[in-house]
Amino acid sequence: NPPNLQMGEGSVLERSSCRAKGGAPGFKVAILGAAGGIGQPLAMLMKMNPLVSVLHLYDVVNAPGVTADISHMDTGAVVRGFLGQSELEAALTGMDLVIIPAGIPRKPGMTRDDLFKNNAGIVRTLCEGIAKCCPNAIVNLISNPVNSTVPIAAEVFKKAGTYDPKKLLGVTSLDVVRANTFVAEVLGLDPREVDVPVVGGHAGVTILPLLSQVKPPCSFTQEETEYLTKRIQDGGTEVVEAKKGAGSATLSMAYAAVKFADACLKGLRGDAGVVACAFVASQVTELPFFASKVRLGRTGAEEVYQLGPLNEYERIGLVKAKKELAESIQKGVSFIRN
Ligand code: NAI
């Protein structure tokens, strides 16, 4: 084989035949905001995922450096970098899954809603690109405030005529990851054995862990319930304060994002029984969006599960969560409509 001079990636000495993946199933994944605190470890972990054949890394800064670095890992996925708005369309074309951790993170004293002004516009622009270049892709939206950015994305897709509610998923998996960890600590179990459903949204009181539904079945005292609920709701703030202005959760978030993205890819592949929590279009409550367990399949979130029986403490939490969520959802919708 002569060297392929047209590849536009890697060395001119690269033989095109070396790129064959032996027919293994592989998905094309783009990360938007790939040079950031979450984006970099997320890119690294996705490069290690055997379900990924092509990995596109897009950012408005430093994308070439991160791409060069990640591309030296001897795993299967082919990595390509894209820098700046003029390369957004090339980054998105043909993608099966788009993961979005673009936008500024919190500093001490800030709520996620304080990020709205900056991040709403970023999410709008990126979603306009998705509607144009890969309207059938599954979207995993990480950028905060998730409770508002998911409604923003939905409105952008509706305007473009490409909206498929099954394919737009707000990433709340870090809340589940934290809940599993903190509950395991209290119960003295291995966190890998623990499964805590976390529903509602992704900010403060909208984060509602259902401790009455923890697997393996267990019970908590009132004191334990209050401690755990508060710690899970404030987990992000715990990290923001410990980082003292240097950002919010990035490493645990990248881990949680990859866990969720992997579930989405397994669903796309057709695996049975892939279930995870996510913030999605929902009829579980009267609100248009709500986080709960969903079943992931070939077309995205194919089934949104009901909340199941709640105890008194959780019912009160649900009322609080819905009040704040309704406002955040409305704020996102209005940003596009008005
Ligand atoms: P960061 O500031 O380290 O990285 C953000 C990246 O986005 C930067 O590389 C920046 O250049 C890039 N960016 C900015 N504008 C862009 C645009 N128009 N297009 C593409 N890329 C753009 O922030 P970090 O820590 O990675 O956090 C990213 C977002 O994730 C924040 O909004 C944060 O609040 C959110 N987050 C969400 C969590 C969740 O559970 N859903 C958990 C933790 C953070």
Ligand 1 in reach of 202 Cβ (< 6 A): yes
Strand ranges inside 63-132, DSSP E: 78-83, 97-100
* pLDDT tens digit at each of 338 positions of the chain: 333 333 345 566 666 544 444 455 699 999 999 999 999 999 999 999 999 999 999 999 999 999 999 999 999 999 999 999 999 999 999 999 999 999 999 999 999 999 999 999 999 999 999 999 999 999 999 999 999 999 999 999 999 999 999 999 999 999 999 999 999 999 999 999 999 999 999 999 999 999 999 999 999 999 999 999 999 999 999 999 999 999 999 999 999 999 999 999 999 999 999 999 999 999 999 999 999 999 999 999 999 999 999 999 999 999 999 999 999 999 999 999 99
Ligand 1 in reach of 38 Cβ (< 6 A): yes
Phi, psi for 111 (deg, rounded to 5): -95, 170
Q: How far is CA 236 from the centre of its chain?
A: 15
Contact 32, 102 (CB under 8 A): yes
ipTM above 0.95, yes or no: yes
Q: Give dist(CA 20, CA 16) in Å, integer.
A: 8
CA 146 to ligand 1: nearest atom:
41
In the numeric block, which tokens belong to residue 247? Answer: 């950002």
Q: Whose CA is nearest to atom 14 of ligand 1?
A: 103
Tell me which residue of 90, 28, 96, 32 sits closest to 63, measured CA to CA: 32
Catalytic residue flag (residue 202): yes
Tell me which residue of 253, 5, 68, 239 sits closest to 146, measured CA to CA: 253
Amino acid at 261: A
CA 173 to ligand 1: nearest atom:
40
